[in-house]
Structure 1
């Protein structure tokens, strides 16, 4: 039953994203309502499995992590309730927009990652998407040339997205699948380049570095030092955020004070940090945020005709959480990610979980640059791998156990399963 619900959750989310790209529904319409129902099907499947698995999660997760997760869910539900009670937006925006309430509920996908059988399912699912993405890429290139239309680029970015999750897990792939991942990775890099998605290029370069200097190096020499060094990288953006909290000044504004207003649109994300910090401080909402549909005033976007100066979302993951659920929400969210990475690196018996930890590490670092919080396949998969890294049963398995599980030759159940 749980496997079926997992498949339903994955497929309904994929169909939603493809349908939204193809039909691009605007405003309130029957088409948009029907498409949006697919997201709720995905979410409700996760909530149903979660409700049945509370006792298992309590046994499988460290106690403090389990409590942290419950508090995170409770805090996010409170942010949603504040928007509903405050009538900040229409109910369709509050419940139907994947950037608002749904974005705060994607952590429910964590429960799917604690099921060992789902590892095989998601790896198979990712490989099927790549097999679909490569020929579709060739068709698009033949029809449209080397420069593709925006919708075609979005479709390909979605279908080739699994590369971001399979790169550091290559040791558990058969040769044919490795070739598939390499070809898809090259395509993804090219598509990211022509579509201007710089973060995707950065992510892949970092993941390849983690594969060679983290996964392979640890596998060959069993050295913990590379894992310690990589883990410490995560402290840099956290330190900068802490400095911002302590001083009330955006770290970008503090350390890039020489940046002119003209350059704010071209650098990493400076003006977003500056504007959001100022808005939350002025409105005294830094700790608790403004709710699921909270908005902030942007002088930068106010200068563009046709753009709204009141923004309901921020193009930076950590800032999006800060806007919706405040510093408390950021703390709860990041503590889940950091704990998952720590357990993956230092409390795991297999390279699969270590590779999953690298996925979360790169995601966490890039949350300070982009990685928008939204209910989509990417963030769903991120929380799936959080579940993988936190699961004691999966962490106690050895490399052979995971290889057999993924490649269909499982000889025995995983420890304590």
Structure 2
């Protein structure tokens, strides 16, 4: 396979992305907006340049069909944003959010097993140790924002080497129990553990495959069901304080070091849906979106937004799907859905190994979680999401046996196994010629 001049730079990109992910939590400033724009632009340049070198066959290209359409629609929305933008804050938002909308290109890189292996190996050997220098200046609850690939690697726990098992288990436990008020960390690191425990043990059971398929379908349709129930007033999933009795309050330190209490059952999402939908109805951009140059009108954050930008308009919300809707419209949401639906389906129903199936289940869950959080930022969380989607769609990943995948995973943690895997791959490629 031909390699480009930038191939060796690709693994290094995960370090600045990880640092940017926790920039707001560090007690000292790291870079200006302009500096980070330049870094993101250079990273995207490497991603797009390397994307064409990662595809090996027409089968690879075909598998990424929906990702390609979604990415092109995002590019179209960005170009529309140039026409929609009216001033400084619009153009600033267009640049930041526009680069975020280009992150699906990571799926192109991730159909290639060697690319993913190199990136994750660099993360384990260099990005995590570098993070140890930053963690003393951050609250424990924010560590997970830097370490998201560890949650992904938890899906391979049964076949990890002992070194890998220790790393992913220790990190997951610290993130989950270091700050229970950080509900997102508890969920994102806890779900992979549940998936491994729940489905790895039944991989050889006759009905195991069917159970995975039914679980995937349930996860894929769940957001639509909950939305319908909320609109009709039957059940509002975010208002858990109405259904769960008891005092679930977590005390923690905020960014200024003061101890604050947080209600773990508090509804922090319903009003966002109301504001976003009402804004789209009022301004009639529900089909094509308002482009990444503009946001939704807000009442709850109006004073803050007017003071900062001069308009009662919030460019980005905490809920990923609301941003997709605001920037790219119903069409963007449909394409976003098709990507997750196909990726999870191909992983579970067209994979020869157990672990890509587990990744597929996690991707289906992340589709659900996009309706709760997964804010669209140029961060390592979204990096991992699109990497997983690429793995699910990758014919070469899905054709691997459990034994071959085990050798691939060991290569992430130990160089001797990485070299052994590469040697095995060369022999395999020669035999196929």
State whether TM-score is above 0.5.
Answer: yes
Matched, 1:395 2:398: yes
Contact 2:238 2:269 (8 Å CA) reproduced: no
**Which whole-Å CA distance do the structure 2 matches of 1:381 and 1:125 have between them?**
14
Asked if residue 354 in structure 1 is aligned to residue 354 in structure 2, the reply is no
Q: Is the 8 A contact 1:268 1:369 kept in 2?
A: no
Q: Partner residue of 1:281?
A: 281
Change in 2 beyond 3 A, CA 1:219/1:37: farther
> Deviations for 1:184-211, whole angstroms, at most 9, x for unmatched residues?
1111112342xx3212212233222111
Match of 2:75 in 1: 77
Quick one: structure 1 residues 88 and 316, their matched pair in 2 at CA, closer, same or farther if it must change by over 3 Å?
farther
Matches of 1:252 and 1:200, distance apart in 2: 31
Contact 1:280 1:286 in 2 (8 A): yes
- How far the C-alpha of 1:253 sits from its partner, in A, is 6.1
Q: Conserved in 1, the CA contact under 8 Å of 2:144 and 2:185? A: no
Task: Render the CA deviation track for 1:374-409: whole Å, top value 9, x for unaligned.
Answer: 111111121112111111122111111122223223
Q: Write out aligned runs for 1:159-308 (5 A).
A: 159-193=146-180, 196-219=181-204, 223-240=208-225, 243=228, 251=231, 255-256=235-236, 266-302=266-302
1: distance between equivalents of 2:313 and 2:347? 40
Distance 1:168 1:258, change over 3 A: closer
Alignment of 1:64-213 (within 5 A): 65-90=63-88, 93-94=92-93, 96-97=95-96, 100-128=97-125, 132=129, 140=136, 151-153=138-140, 156-193=143-180, 196-213=181-198
Matches of 1:186 and 1:130 in 2, distance apart? Answer: 19
Say if 1:312 and 1:402 are closer, same or farther in 2 by CA, change over 3 A: same
Q: 1:164 aligns to what SS in structure 2?
A: helix
TM-score by length of 2: 0.79
1:259 and 1:334, CA in 2 relative to 1: closer, same or farther beyond 3 A?
A: closer
Unaligned runs of 5+ in 2: 243-262, 411-416
Query: Is contact 1:203–1:362 with CA below 8 Å preserved after alignment?
Result: no
Check the 8 A contact 1:316/1:368 in 2, yes or no.
Answer: yes
Flag the 1:85–1:152 CA change in 2: closer, same or farther, 3 A: same
Q: Distance in 1 between matches of 2:87 and 2:178?
A: 36
Give, in angstroms, the shift of residue 169 of structure 1. 1.5
Deviations 1:26-54 (CA, angstroms, capped at 9, x unpaired):
xxxx8432232111121111111224556
- The residue number in structure 2 matching 1:143 is none
Partner of 1:327: 330
| CA distance, structure 1, for counterparts of residue 197 and residue 22 of structure 2 | 33
Moved more, 86-95 or 397-406: 86-95
Contact 2:199 2:208 in 1 (8 A): no
8 Å contact kept, 1:252–1:270: no
Query: C-alpha deviations, 1:152-195, integer Å up to 9, x for none?
Result: 447623333233211112123102210121111111112342xx
Shift in alpha-carbon separation, 1:16–1:302, aligned structure 2, 3 A: closer
State whether residues 5 and 46 of structure 1, in contact with CA within 8 Å, keep that contact through their aligned partners in structure 2.
no
Structure 1: state its 5+ residue gaps.
141-148, 245-249
Count of residue pairs the alignment pairs up: 389
Once residues 285 and 360 of structure 2 are traced to their aligned partners in structure 1, the CA distance between those partners, rounded to angstroms, is: 32
> Is 2:424 aligned against 1:412?
yes
Moved more, 307-316 or 360-369: 307-316
Alpha-carbon RMSD: 3.4
Secondary structure (helix, strand or coil) at the match of 2:64 reads helix
Distance 1:95 1:293, change over 3 A: closer
Deviates more, 1:361-370 or 1:44-53: 44-53
Residue 76 of structure 1, CA deviation: 0.4
1:300 counterpart SS class: coil
